[in-house]
Amino acid sequence: MLTEERRRRIAERLQAHGAVSNEALADEFNVTRMTIYRDLKALEASGRLRRVRGGAVIDRGSDEPLFVSKRDVHRAQKAAIAAYAAATFVRERDLIFLEAGTTATAMVRSLVEPAPTIVTNGLEVINEAAKHVPHMTVMGCGGILRERSYTFVGPQAVQFFEGVHARTFFVSGTGLTPNEGLTDPNPLEVQVKLAMAEHAESVVLLLDSSKLGIRSLLASVPLERIDHLVTDAGADPGIVRAIAERGPRIHIVPVEDNDA
């Protein structure tokens, strides 16, 4: 069984029962307790649970982890997805929307001169552009800064994107299912994402495989509005097929270290 499939099933057990134990999970999946420890640690970092002595419980407070904790999870997958997206979908002197998620932010390091114009709601996108591509034109939307995600939200941000047109919108999120599409925990960020999707010619979703089959609190960008999904080879084939049937073209990116 693939690592991401096992972690998806652990998350399902947690949703159904509210708590899981290391010993029971190790027996059920026929793996070591250390493997289960790593699984629960990764799921906790992605906001799915809270670890306790001997196991884990569902986190009822929020399924939205801090940006800094998300950034360090599945780094190899995110880097591979971001590099593929930059090479495949960005043309010289494009104007692109780059959303503030960690995978979309990672795209900045893969952009080359002559670089596109980036329009973003992400503080970290702006910081990365300033460090790695100093001659790139970057436009920030303004608005209210959310400390958890380093995103600008609110009416000012929404109105800004309603007045700009982009060739491509690169977006990531908390989860993706065939029925709900992209889902996220915060309504203010959902509003901004929908405005960005509405004013772009095409939408490219950048999502590592751990988020496929995961549902967050609120529906965000629907599958019918997503033109391409870029994910890694750890994705569950059944979920990938179900998503593809709803319209997006699927791009599977190989990753050298699948346990990063």
State the pLDDT at residue 257: 58
Domains and CATH numbers, the chain: 3-61 (1.10.10.10), 69-253 (3.40.50.1360)
pLDDT tens track of the chain, all 260 residues?
A: 788 788 878 887 776 666 788 998 999 999 999 999 999 988 887 666 778 888 887 765 444 554 544 555 678 899 999 999 999 999 988 999 999 988 888 899 888 777 899 999 999 999 998 887 777 899 999 999 998 789 999 999 999 999 999 999 999 998 899 988 998 878 889 999 999 999 999 999 999 998 898 887 778 999 999 999 999 998 889 999 999 999 899 999 998 754 44
State the pLDDT at residue 55: 87
Q: How many CB atoms lie within 10 A of CB 116?
A: 23
**What's the whole-model pTM score?**
0.74
State the pLDDT at residue 70: 55
